Structure 1
Amino acid sequence: MNSSVALERIDIDDVATDPVRIAAEIHRQLGDIPGPVPIYDIARALDIDEIKTKPLQNFEGMLLTRPERDFGTVLLNSLASPQRRNYSLAHELGHFLCGWHLTTDDTGFRCSQRDMASPSGNARHVKQEREANQFAIELLAPSRLFKPYLRRLPDLEHVLSMHVALDISKAAAARRYVELHKERLAVIFARDSSFIYAVRGSEFPWIGLQEGDPLPILPCVPQDARTSEMIETDPQDWNIRALSGELAVQVLSQEDEHAIVLLHAADADLDDGD
């Protein structure tokens, strides 16, 4: 198989007990390569025989395979951005390498945009989609490549920089940023100023909003800027109850009335000086 990447599938299968270990073994074999991670070459080196694109209306990616995982063909949505297709390919590769994942039909896996962001459905489906997502982000955005962006105060400009440097979608970069940053962060994905879903860092309190709920008034993004300023906001407006310290909000506007909203919960101990 033609690929500029050489990987030993047998060594990867030996650690195939969870998606993080699989991604870590791939990176061990790749060495300390710079970003972006060559996901197409990786997939081809690991027995994905064909990678095709065509317009898809209800799915972002499909994997044609058998339970033995002895071959794989991936179909990606040509209507999606190249960065989103990178993530979709990594997601389908996750299903392929996680041999315990049960196919969703007789031919393999069919994954929607919802599956790749905030999956819902029966418990097995949700678990499998979350594991494929975990594999995808660990592969495309390993923590060592994120470290330079995590040393400064939270700012969506850093998310935009990671989006470019790692060739991943803004949404994937934002989710990873919140997951790895030492500050208490959450990111909300919205459309038409309404809540879609949120991803919280491990220390960020619960956000009691439901899909479709209107968001509080957001800070404006200047016409010549990509993001708004980070401004103080009232936690109760976001239905956040158990929060000590102040809350700040920043907005990144996107196409079709979409927005990425960053919430930063300041540490109360730092605010309460002597």
Structure 2
Amino acid sequence: MPNDAFLNDLANGGSAETLLATILKYHPDLRAPIDVVAIAHRAGITEVRDLETDAFASALITNMAKGEAAILCAPGLSAQRRRFAIAHQLGHFLLGGQPVDRQCRNRDLAETRRDTPTRKAEMHANRFAAGVLMPKPLFVASVAGLGKPTVTHLPDIAATYHVTLEAAVTRYADLTQTMCAFLFVKDGVLRYARPSRFFPALSIQAGDPIPASVKSATPNDRIAWLPAEARDWIQISRHTRQPRLTMQILSKANGFQLVMLFVNAAAERRADEEAEKEATEKPSFGQRR
């Protein structure tokens, strides 16, 4: 198919999901790690180069009158963060109609909120970037090939797609069908969490100290599924049955920890059915008149 057909379809894309579907349509043989620079060039980016300052993580500079658009990245970025920054700015370039110049900081490349127009735009660019670097069909298939979920899969996934661990975890949480949550911890304090869509609401917030059972874990500990106290992590009402929660802890020597919380959804459904059955069959005794 001619390149202008690809550009025409991108111009009619609109949403991040439609744009990603268009990229997959014209690049059916994508393999990890994705060549994001090649995709950017084909999508209309004329240049990818370093910024002259590290005040921003990345920037988009456009001159549509001349048909020029450049993506610039801070010179100190790691290769993985640079790839995400390029994909992020490509998202800005393609989303929302007429491209405008952008200057994005590191926090913008991690934005997940949508409570202001600026945050919403950054969030959409991040969703697009994740979809370009970790295309859903490839990602889902590679995760399924790893077998049962475990926290040790995440560094391998990040290496396969040549992205940061944070980006791999966020994509995993977005696409998985399991009830799990990932918590990034530094020196005993929660930095941020990435729950899957099916996981119960967390009670622990960014900046909170983590339970002692996690803080005491070391890099030398064998990684295994451990019982976790549900009330330490998730919101449970007084009249709600406490789910059986397990966790794995990946600890690094620099005080960094990645905690994976897991709820067996099938086992929870069976437990709920048993509790309902028991409540239904329990005899009731009326008072004798």
TM-score bracket, shorter-length normalisation: 0.7 to 0.9
Q: Which runs of 5+ in 2 are unaligned?
A: 275-289
- Percent sequence identity over matched residues? 26
Change (3 A) 1:59 1:203: same
Query: Is contact 2:236-2:242 (8 Å) kept?
Result: no
Q: Give the Å deviation of 1:113.
A: 2.1
Once residues 162 and 205 of structure 2 are traced to their aligned partners in structure 1, the CA distance between those partners, rounded to angstroms, is 31
Structure-1 residue corresponding to 2:104 = 111
State yes or no: 1:245 paired with 2:243: yes
SS in 1 for 2:192: strand
Cα pair 1:95 1:101 within 8 Å, conserved: no
Is 1:199 the counterpart of 2:189? The answer is no
Question: Unmatched 5+ residue regions in structure 1?
Answer: none
C-alpha spacing 1:37/1:99, structure 2 compared with 1 (3 Å)? same
The question of 1:145 aligning with 2:145 is answered no
Quick one: which amino acid aligns to residue 163 of structure 1? A
Q: How does 1:111-130 map to 2 (within 5 A)?
A: 111-119=104-112, 123-130=116-123
Which of the numbers 58, 63, 71 marks the counterpart of 1:61?
A: 58
> In the alignment, residue 9 of structure 2 is paired with which amino acid?
D
- 1:258 counterpart residue number: 256
Q: Over the residues paired in the alignment, what is the CA RMSD in angstroms?
A: 2.9
Distance 1:186 1:102 in 2: 35
| 1:1-274 alignment runs, 5 A limit | 8-14=6-12, 16-54=13-51, 57-65=54-62, 70-100=67-97, 103=100, 108-119=101-112, 123-146=116-139, 147-150=141-144, 152-217=147-212, 218=214, 220-223=217-220, 228-241=223-236, 244-254=242-252, 256-267=254-265, 268-270=268-270
Letter in 2 for 1:78: P
Worse-matched range after superposition: 192-201 or 59-68: 59-68
Cα deviation, residue 189, structure 1? 2.0
Following superposition, the deviation at residue 83 of structure 1 comes to: 1.1
The answer as to whether partners of 1:12 and 1:22 remain within 8 angstroms in 2 is yes
1:60: how far off? 2.1
Aligned to 1:190, what secondary structure does the other structure show? strand
Task: Give the 3-state SS of the residue equivalent to 1:208 in structure 2.
Answer: coil
CA distance in 2, matches of 1:13, 1:181: 30
The 3-state SS of whatever aligns with 1:33 is coil
1 or 2, which has the higher helix percentage?
A: 2
1:207-258 deviation line (CA, Å, top 9, x unaligned): 1333211111316244387xx3231111211243267521122223357533
The answer on whether the counterparts of 2:251 and 2:258 sit within 8 Å (CA) in structure 1 is: yes
Distance across 2 between alignment mates of 1:201 and 1:253: 21
Aligned residues: 263
Structure 1 residue 155: Cα displacement: 0.9
Aligned letter for 2:244?
Answer: E
C-alpha distance in 1 between matches for 2:113 and 2:66: 25
Contact 1:150–1:181 under 8 Å retained in 2: no
**What is the CA–CA distance in structure 1 between the aligned matches of 2:228 and 2:113, rounded to whole Å?**
30
Bigger radius of gyration:
2
8 Å CA contact 1:67–1:99 kept in 2: the answer is no
Report the more deviating stretch, 46-55 or 162-171: 46-55
TM-score when normalising by structure 2: 0.80
